Amino acid sequence: MSERIIPLLDQRHQGLAMKVPTNPMTGDGVLRDQRHRPLHDLRISVTDRCNFRCNYCMPKEVFDSHYTYLPHSDLLSFEEITRVARVFVGLGVRKLRLTGGEPLLRKNLEVLIEQLSALKTPQGKPLDLTLTTNGSLLKRKAQDLRRAGLQRVTVSLDGIDDAVFRAMNDVDFPVADVLDGIEAARAAGLGLDAHGRFSGLKINMVVKRTTNLDQILPMARHFRGSGMTLRFIEYMDVGTTNGWRMDDVLPSAEVIRLLQTEFALVPLEPSAPGETAQRWGYADTQGRHDPALGEVGVISSVTQAFCHDCNRARLSTEGKLYLCLFAGQGHDLRGLLRQDASDEQLAAAIGQVWQQRDDRYSELRGQQTPGQPAPRRVEMSYIGG
Ligand code: SAM
Ligand code: SF4
Ligand code: SF4
């Protein structure tokens, strides 16, 4: 039986107006939301288009030739994105991630990367700047991205078997081309750490029980010892078009159990506060983590919600600020930008929105009343991962 397609609810044109508060931020100078979570990461979507049709994200049946993407005039310009990012840095953001759609489809992305990599924290330190890509254009672009100042990259790859991968991207894209892209990123020095390991080169695999469960062990075998980190992501109920069912979610605990049938693993501490992945290291014959063998991670967005320290804000392609991946509406930052608001006014307005944030969708997921319609949510391809 084919999966049921839920009609697309288009949330893109409804934004909450943002206002400049008359009494800006108070407190100890650290911006915190209603649950005392600071603002640390900003994910910036640079396009809502993609050349893949992963059925958990942009199913072909919805994102077909009739689908209307945002017109170019609606998108934030590179100058607007950089200005907004600078304001966010002033409010505590230390990590910027470019995403999409497929970010490498945005023309001249290197120019934006050059601008963002020049930003500094108030202490004069560089920011952590990274990008998530499906890897299809990486072979062509890795050198230019590195030259422009990109430090790290995350490549999404849902299988190492060509037939499985082609079916998952649903545009018959060969796995060999993504692997070439990963090699090009490595050769360009993306993700290289001070110890000569490619710890900033991450590979993300979304696991759908019915589709690519059999790829978990082959993927681990392929990347073990490469210096890259492989992370398994639970399939999430983002958007309203992917026909998500709990039965399709493979809990991370099962992923770890499966990996342990072949590899000795030791748990590792989180590398940063608010880190979404639980880390496991490959062990040596004495049972100690061997950094040369590398690590794996699991992101349990469904079975072990991590809303309690979620410190991420998201900026959509046309400048709406979203406080949660599952939010129904965004705050219209572009409106304010284009009304000639000053940086101070932008900061005060963003600060106020963050201070009022109370989102924790994943923690509440299980409390939805059966039979009630699912809340309205934006699509992952529009807001980015
Ligand atoms: N196109 C780029 C890519 O695929 O890496 C960037 C955008 S994509 C929306 C960002 C991340 O979201 C990818 O790693 C993708 O696998 C993940 N993603 C998309 N839909 C998802 C879902 N339903 N559940 C879990 N992860 C999802
Ligand atoms: Fe495109 Fe990334 Fe979504 Fe796949 S996950 S359809 S590559 S935006
Ligand atoms: Fe953050 Fe929302 Fe995800 Fe919770 S559900 S971790 S608040 S994005």
- The tens digit of pLDDT for each residue in 84-115 reads 999 999 999 999 999 999 999 999 999 999 99
Give tens-digit pLDDT for 293-341. Answer: 999 999 999 998 889 999 999 999 999 999 999 998 999 999 999 998 9
Q: Which of 184-193, 210-219, 308-317, 356-365 has the lowest mean pLDDT?
A: 356-365
Local confidence band at 361 (pLDDT 50, 70, 90 cut-offs): confident
Is the pLDDT at 376 greater than 80, yes or no? no
**Tokens encoding 323:** 């406080």
pLDDT of amino acid 3: 46
Mean pLDDT of 334-353: 95
Could you tell me which of 106, 194, 200 has the C-alpha nearest to residue 146? 200
Buried b (16+ CB within 10 A) or exposed e, 24-62: ebeeeeebbbeeebbbbbbbbbbbbbbebbbbbbbbeeb
50 Cβ inside 6 Å of ligand 2:
yes
Q: What is the dihedral of CA 140, 196, 222, 305, to 10 degrees?
A: -90
52 Cβ inside 6 Å of ligand 2:
yes
Three-state secondary-structure class, residue 267: strand
pLDDT of amino acid 6: 43
Name the CATH topology of 11-22+32-383. Answer: TIM Barrel (3.20.20)
pLDDT of amino acid 88: 97
Give tens-digit pLDDT for 198-224. Answer: 888 999 999 999 999 999 999 999 999
Is the pLDDT at 2 greater than 50, yes or no? no
- How many DSSP H helices and E strands does the chain contain? 12, 13
359 Cβ inside 6 Å of ligand 3:
yes
**Tokens encoding 324:** 């949660």
Q: Distance of alpha carbon 95 from its chain centroid, rounded?
A: 12
**Tokens encoding 71:** 């017109």
Three-state secondary-structure class, residue 180: helix
Mutate to test the pocket of ligand 3, among 315, 329, 361, 367 (most ligand atoms within 8 A of CB): 361
Percent of residues, the chain, with pLDDT higher than 70? 91
Mutate to test the pocket of ligand 2, among 52, 53, 157, 166 (most ligand atoms within 8 A of CB): 52
pLDDT of amino acid 5: 47
Is the pLDDT at 124 greater than 70, yes or no? yes
| CA–CA distance, 46 with 245 (Å, rounded to integer) | 29
Query: Which ligand sits nearest to residue 158's alpha carbon?
Result: 1
Domain boundaries, the chain: 11-22+32-383
Using the mean position of ligand 2's atoms as its centre, give its distance from the Cα of residue 145 in Å. Answer: 20
| CA–CA distance, 354 with 352 (Å, rounded to integer) | 5
pTM: 0.93
- Identity of the residue numbered 346: L
| CA–CA distance, 123 with 365 (Å, rounded to integer) | 39
Is the pLDDT at 383 greater than 90, yes or no? no
Is the pLDDT at 368 greater than 70, yes or no? no
Using the mean position of ligand 3's atoms as its centre, give its distance from the Cα of residue 175 in Å. Answer: 31
- Answer positive or negative: Cα dihedral of 135, 89, 329, 334: negative
What is the average pLDDT value for the chain, to the nearest integer?
A: 91
How big, in percent rounded to 5, are the helix, strand and coil portions of the chain?
Answer: 30, 20, 50
pLDDT of amino acid 168: 97
Strand partners, 314: 43, 322
Local confidence band at 370 (pLDDT 50, 70, 90 cut-offs): low
Give the residue with greater pLDDT, 24 vs 128.
Answer: 128
Mean pLDDT of 346-363: 94
Task: For ligand 2, atom 4, name the residue with the nearest CA.
Answer: 54
Is the pLDDT at 12 greater than 70, yes or no? no
pLDDT of amino acid 241: 79
